[in-house]
Structure 1
Amino acid sequence: MKGEYLVNKIDIISSAKVNKTPDLYEIVGACNRTLKERDLMFGLALDEKNKTKMVFTIYGT
């Protein structure tokens, strides 16, 4: 129908703060490439309060 669209719901399954290292992006990328068929998505963000930490998040799609 005109004006209607499907919105994918994304739920946070788990989240953890870890020490910041450059290699974490490689791990998140590998997880996203290999586990997307299982409706999982992974994210990594710099912690806003502590720049030496990162927040690793697992999402269900």
Structure 2
Amino acid sequence: MKEKEGKLELIAAKSFTPYPELYKVIDFLNKTLKHKKLMFGLTKDPENGNMIISIYEI
């Protein structure tokens, strides 16, 4: 359910144990699935240091 055009809609988010090259996976997914109007984000949880992968619909 999109609110406005140009907005990102969060589809899912999942926390993972930190992995040094996880950003490469996110970069690969963004380049590969851009045409499907999907975008992936990677953030670090300040509380426990885990990495959070978020999936958005553009």
Unpaired segments ≥5 residues, structure 2:
none
Aligned amino acid, residue 60 of structure 1: E
RMSD, matched Cα: 1.4
1:45 Cα shift?
0.5
1:55 aligns with 2:52: yes
TM-score by length of 2: 0.88
Unpaired segments ≥5 residues, structure 1:
1-6
Q: Percent identity?
A: 35
How many residue pairs end up in the alignment? 55
Residues in 2 aligned to 1:49 and 1:11: alpha-carbon distance in whole angstroms = 24
TM-score by length of 1: 0.84
CA deviations 1:20-56 (Å, max 9, x no partner) are 01111010000000100000000000111111x1110
Q: Which of the two has higher C-alpha Rg?
A: 1
Q: Which runs of 4+ in 1 moved over 6 A?
A: none
